[in-house]
Amino acid sequence: MPLSKENIFDLLSGIPDPEIPVITIQELGVLRKVELTSDGCEVTITPTYTGCPAMQMIEDQIREILRDNGILNVSVKMTYSPAWTTDWLSAEAKDKLRKYGIAPPLSSMDTVAFIQCPHCSSFNTEIISDFGSTSCKGLYRCNDCKEAFDYFKTH
């Protein structure tokens, strides 16, 4: 039986983000849409931070999973409109980030920008560098537990 676009969306929903493997591209809001074409399918994704090298890895994984499921003719379309924002992260995804040791992005609606330590929940934190392990993250240190941690920047 051929796969429906819902089946395909479900298959692709499980792809982990290459940089943060605890959350999926669906939870991140990168996976937008699947459409069937006459002999394959078209997958629409929205890049997170412009130039994030992870996007090529995500595209490769999409093609690989679909090939394993017998769909060879795949086009992966990037859409920049509406632009991706960290507000698309679900509450669950933010919770997973925190457990993974990354401070989740603040909502763009937040006017007070206190970054909470993912280890001890202290707000007594300071920025060390605006660029952490990747350009998507900033590096912070907690003044209470003295741990350094990444902050997933609001975008």
Site residues, Zn ion (CB under 5 A): 117, 119-120, 122, 142, 144-145
The amino acid occupying position 75 is: S
Question: For residue 34, what is the enclosing H or E element?
Answer: strand 31-37
Residue closer to Zn ion (CB basis): 22 or 145: 145
Residue 147 C-beta: closest distance to Zn ion, Å: 5
Residue 121 C-beta: closest distance to Zn ion, Å: 7
Residue closer to Zn ion (CB basis): 12 or 103: 103
Residues 6+ apart with CB under 8 A from 107: 87, 154
Residue 47 C-beta: closest distance to Zn ion, Å: 32
Residue closer to Zn ion (CB basis): 106 or 117: 117
Task: Please classify residue 121 by burial: count the beta carbons closer than 10 Å to its beta carbon, then call 0-12 exposed, 13-18 middle and 19+ buried.
Answer: exposed
